[in-house]
Amino acid sequence: MSKHEAMVEYLKQYPGLRSFLYFNTATNIVGNISVQTIYSDEWEEQDITGHGTKRYDFAIIFMTPQDSSGTSNLNVAQMDSVQAFMEWIREQDKQKNFPDFGESEVYSIENLQNMPNLATANESVAKYMFQCRVRYYE
């Protein structure tokens, strides 16, 4: 199983996931959640034997309903729902529940930001996203 497949299987465990988990695809359909890879799999440290710490970075993208007038609490509720996924990631790290990268030893998964950002919005759809990092020894 590739690291990409392992990440999708791992993130499918999120109890708030109510739809198919897309991979490297983004649509403007409300309710879609996607994992987007970020150029990573980079060495943080490497010893003379060729082993060391690498990172796998990714973003989670939520397509949510948007109140373009801003006169309701809908946008706050959507932000909170995305924040809940971030909290789940944080809790998995505390519990040391990591994706299975096969022979590589995963030792952390972390959010790279403290809240999701509004990546884009139109009259009816908002795109929220946050980035994460998995650190592992290879």
Residue 42 is predicted with a pLDDT of: 78
pTM: 0.90
Residue 28 is predicted with a pLDDT of: 83
Residue 72 is predicted with a pLDDT of: 87
Tens of pLDDT along the chain (138 residues)? 899 999 999 999 999 998 889 999 877 889 899 999 987 667 888 889 988 999 999 999 999 999 888 788 999 999 999 999 999 999 999 999 999 999 999 999 999 999 999 998 888 899 999 999 999 999
Residue 41 is predicted with a pLDDT of: 65
Give burial (CB, 10 Å; 0-12/13-18/19+) of 130: buried
Give burial (CB, 10 Å; 0-12/13-18/19+) of 47: exposed
Residue 37 is predicted with a pLDDT of: 92
Give burial (CB, 10 Å; 0-12/13-18/19+) of 133: middle
Residue 40 is predicted with a pLDDT of: 66
